[in-house]
């Protein structure tokens, strides 16, 4: 395994092979077909950098590569693979704008401190904090994004009714054959 990738003959996708080529062009070579694909991906990436939507890029790819009989689906896959290989344009653009915003706020913060305007300096500190990517933000809590298992506890009668329906392969909560309990309607008052 070299540079984080090891190709296995016959099992790798065009993406794997092109990625490996970019990591180590001396070790990995591309077939003429893979060169064509790499060229299309580079074209897709370049168009995305020019703020073209994925739909527009796919359309342009189809027109540009008519001789390859590029389908609409393949053109969209090319856009997707280009972003995966070269980086997501939208996210890179967002992070870049945030970095610029941070630098402006930092300069303004320094000027406010130098002028003795501590109220403005505090505001610029707040701006700097907001322009950090959310992963770097101290208020970001990744534990809230975890996929935690959800447990439901039901009465034995409900459990048996669910198990009975699951034997048929379908669970229909509208026909659980359960006894309705007395209740009182509550209004929106």
Q: What backbone phi and psi angles, to 5 degrees, belong to 108?
A: -65, -35
Considering only residues 97 and 59, tell me which one the structure prediction assigns the higher pLDDT.
59
- CA 187/CA 189 separation, integer angstroms: 6
Predicted local distance difference test score (pLDDT) of residue 137? 54
Evaluate if pTM is beyond 0.85: no
pLDDT in tens, 59-80: 999 999 988 888 999 999 999 9
Considering only residues 48 and 134, tell me which one the structure prediction assigns the higher pLDDT.
48
Tokens of 27: 């070790």
Q: What is the mean pLDDT of the chain?
A: 81
Which of the residue ranges 45-54, 103-112, 176-185 would you say has the lowest mean pLDDT? Answer: 176-185
Predicted local distance difference test score (pLDDT) of residue 161? 79
DSSP character string of 4-53: TB---TTT--HHHHHHHHHH-TTT----HHHHHHHHHHHHHHHHHHTT--
Confidence at 52, pLDDT banded by 50, 70, 90: confident
The pLDDT > 90 percentage for the chain reads 27
Q: What is the largest CA-CA distance in the chain?
A: 76
């Amino acid at each position: 395994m070299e540079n984080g990738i090891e190709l296995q003959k016959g099992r790798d996708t065009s993406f794997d092979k092109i990625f490996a080529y970019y990591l180590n062009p001396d070790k990995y070579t591309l077939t003429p077909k893979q060169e064509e694909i790499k060229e299309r991906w580079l074209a897709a990436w370049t168009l995305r950098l020019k703020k073209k939507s994925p739909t527009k890029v796919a359309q342009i790819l189809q027109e540009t590569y008519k001789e390859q009989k590029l389908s609409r689906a393949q053109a969209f896959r090319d856009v997707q693979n280009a972003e995966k290989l070269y980086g997501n344009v939208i996210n890179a653009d967002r992070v870049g704008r945030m970095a610029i915003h941070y630098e402006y706020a930092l300069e303004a913060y320094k000027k406010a401190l130098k002028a003795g305007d501590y109220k403005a300096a505090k505001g610029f500190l707040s701006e700097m904090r907001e322009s950090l990517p959310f992963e770097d933000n101290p208020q970001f809590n990744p534990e809230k994004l975890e996929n935690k298992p959800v447990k439901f506890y039901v009465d034995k009668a409900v459990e048996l009714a669910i198990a009975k329906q699951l034997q048929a392969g379908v669970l229909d909560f509208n026909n659980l054959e359960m006894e309705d309990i007395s209740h009182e309607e509550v209004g929106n008052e």
